[in-house]
Amino acid sequence: MKQFLKNSSKRISLPGAATLLVSTMLISQVLGFLRTMMVNGNFPTVGAESTDSYFAAFKIPDLFFYVIAAGVLGVVLIPVLSEHMVKNDRRGVWALSNSLMNLMALIMFGIGIIIFIFAGQLMHIVAPNLSPDQLHNATTIMRFISFNPLFFTLAGILTSTQQVFGRFFFFAISPIVYNLSIIASIYIFKDSLGLIGLGAGALIGAVLQFGVAAIGVLGLNFHWRPKIDFKSTDFWRILRQLPARSLDQGIDSINSIVETNRARALGEGYVSAYENAFTLHTAPVLLIGASISTAAFPRLVERLSQGRPDLFRKDFKDVLRVLMWLSLPVIVLTYFTRGYLARLIFKRGSPEIALILGLLAIAIFFRIIYTLFSRYFYAHKDTITPLIVSVFAIGLNIILVFALARDDTYGLAGLALAQSIVSASEVLIIGLVIMSRDRKMFDKEFWQMTMRLMSVTGFTIVAAFIMIRLLPLNLNDTGFFVLGGKLGAITLVTFSTHVLVSAMYGFNEGKSVLRKIRDFVYRPTKVQ
């Protein structure tokens, strides 16, 4: 155990951290899809046990977590802690984390009590028109998970601090534990508690996630103390930055509540359909955008702490190029294979899910880019600019949702269309702000690279189009082997085309993939 903890504490390179986070995030997302598949497979989208209740129950706890706590995790806490690490002040790192953890624990405990008491009233706001049975299920699930934000907050502070020490492993695996717990709850509680058992599974998962985070601090000389150091200057620095960052994070949750409310108003089962499609669209955002941006963030902060804006700019553009190179074939595949994905994973409601996912495809690209763009400002300790952009985004989204998501306009598809418009607007605005602050960031070389990448993507689109013509989605296509086989073949050819053409256009990413394939294929084999 000691040796394992020692090894997990070794600082790893940016590519190494990114690889670890992407790998574990991939496992987590696969488990997330499996969880969603099993929820949909074991519970109906309509009726007393409708999954609408399950999805709606998480909205308020998630909102409070993002508004109150998520702002301190990573982007606010890490820059301040990094300053202490530059000075080799480990004691200061843990003293600050200890104070913040104690304060947030008190706040989130109080929030948990409020959610528990007023769960019924809150559900009327989130999802109107629920039947009495559905309302009972949703309210009970919400009460089960009312203290989940507390456990997520404590786990988040611990794992964010670990990242400063170069320990990413426990941060990476904690979501896996959470998903496994919900999956297990389907088998354990289905016959006894029904849909409500999912809430019990989520609560157990949150506790276990905190437990994993707590194990991660072993060997880092952390000793918890029941103390909040209000005299600490850095403690107040974090608290001053917190409101802006928290509101910025919370805006996405507010958007989600508005969308859930609107989806429920459009018809029963629509909440589940939209949430399922949104889950598919979110997967690449987390896998590519969040994982790589999270891994890069400590390095970006370190560059500024070193007084090297030139190296910050170089690292930022390098990460941005990787994000763009990876995300473009993903959105192409998402759009062209939306029907295959929906039918393979969700079965019920797949036409509606496929329609929504197709409209959300463009949002994938912009949301991936936004994960890095926002960190430009957080690295500079600027939480106000992303907040202003987010306030604009929520206003635009609410307007578009009520304009587009009506029975006489685009219906449920209007929610997805609004998301794509808003995500593109966010990136455009925040990108213009970055350009105004650093004119060297997006230079001629960057735009030339972007145009070459667009040319590569053109070939990727043609490859995907040809493959879906050769392997069309037929009405009688069912089962993993048929759908999975077609989906795998389309993905393989499309992505291979992207890699090959990228290498021809001089992209190092494409050359690197081909080099690794070559090394693997032609690796000498020892004959015993």
If DSSP codes are grouped into helix, strand and coil, which group holds residue 127? coil
Entry field: residues in the chain: 528
- For residues 515 and 497, the answer to whether their CB atoms sit within 8 Å is no
Q: What is the 8-class DSSP label of residue 76?
A: T
pLDDT(208) > 70: yes
Q: Is residue 10 part of a domain?
A: yes
**Residue range 132-141: average pLDDT?**
92
Cα 495 from Cα 502, distance rounded (Å): 10
Cα 312 from Cα 318, distance rounded (Å): 10
What's the mean pLDDT when you consider all of the chain? 84
pLDDT(524) > 60: no
pLDDT(74) > 50: yes
How many structural domains comprise the chain?
Answer: 1
If DSSP codes are grouped into helix, strand and coil, which group holds residue 346? coil
pLDDT(73) > 70: no
- For residues 8 and 170, the answer to whether their CB atoms sit within 8 Å is yes
Cα 501 from Cα 454, distance rounded (Å): 11
Name the phi and psi angles at 441, rounded to 5: -65, -55
Could you count the other beta carbons within 10 Å of the beta carbon of residue 472?
A: 11
Q: Is residue 61 part of a domain?
A: yes
Q: Is residue 239 part of a domain?
A: yes
pLDDT of the residue at 200: 94
pLDDT of the residue at 268: 80
Q: Is residue 410 part of a domain?
A: no
Q: Is residue 427 part of a domain?
A: no
Q: Is residue 115 part of a domain?
A: yes
User: How many alpha carbons lie under 13 Å from residue 133 in its C-beta half-sphere?
Assistant: 8
pLDDT band of 244, cuts 50, 70, 90: low
If DSSP codes are grouped into helix, strand and coil, which group holds residue 35? helix
- For residues 154 and 211, the answer to whether their CB atoms sit within 8 Å is no
Regarding predicted confidence, which is higher, 230 or 2? 230
- Give percent of the chain with pLDDT exceeding 90: 36
Q: Return the sign of the alpha-carbon dihedral for residues 476, 274, 26, 188.
A: negative
**Residue range 233-240: average pLDDT?**
84
Q: Residue 464's closest CA among 487, 436, 438?
A: 487
Q: Is residue 273 part of a domain?
A: no
Q: What is the 8-class DSSP label of residue 229?
A: -
- Write the burial class of residue 232 (CB in 10 Å: 0-12 exposed, 13-18 middle, 19+ buried): middle
pLDDT(528) > 50: no
Q: What string of DSSP letters covers 464-487? A: HHHHHHHS---TT--SHHHHHHHH
Question: Could you tell me the residue range of the domain that residue 164 belongs to?
Answer: 1-246
pLDDT of the residue at 269: 80
Residues 365-417: tens digit of each pLDDT: 999 999 999 889 988 888 788 888 888 888 898 899 989 988 888 888 999 99
pLDDT of the residue at 328: 94
Residues 455-476: tens digit of each pLDDT: 999 999 999 999 999 999 988 8
pLDDT band of 231, cuts 50, 70, 90: confident
Name the phi and psi angles at 181, rounded to 5: -65, -45
- Write the burial class of residue 448 (CB in 10 Å: 0-12 exposed, 13-18 middle, 19+ buried): exposed
Q: Is residue 461 part of a domain?
A: no
Cα 455 from Cα 453, distance rounded (Å): 5
pLDDT of the residue at 416: 92
pLDDT of the residue at 139: 95
Could you count the other beta carbons within 10 Å of the beta carbon of residue 453?
A: 18
pLDDT(5) > 70: no
Residues 283-305: tens digit of each pLDDT: 888 888 888 887 788 788 888 88
Cα 16 from Cα 283, distance rounded (Å): 21
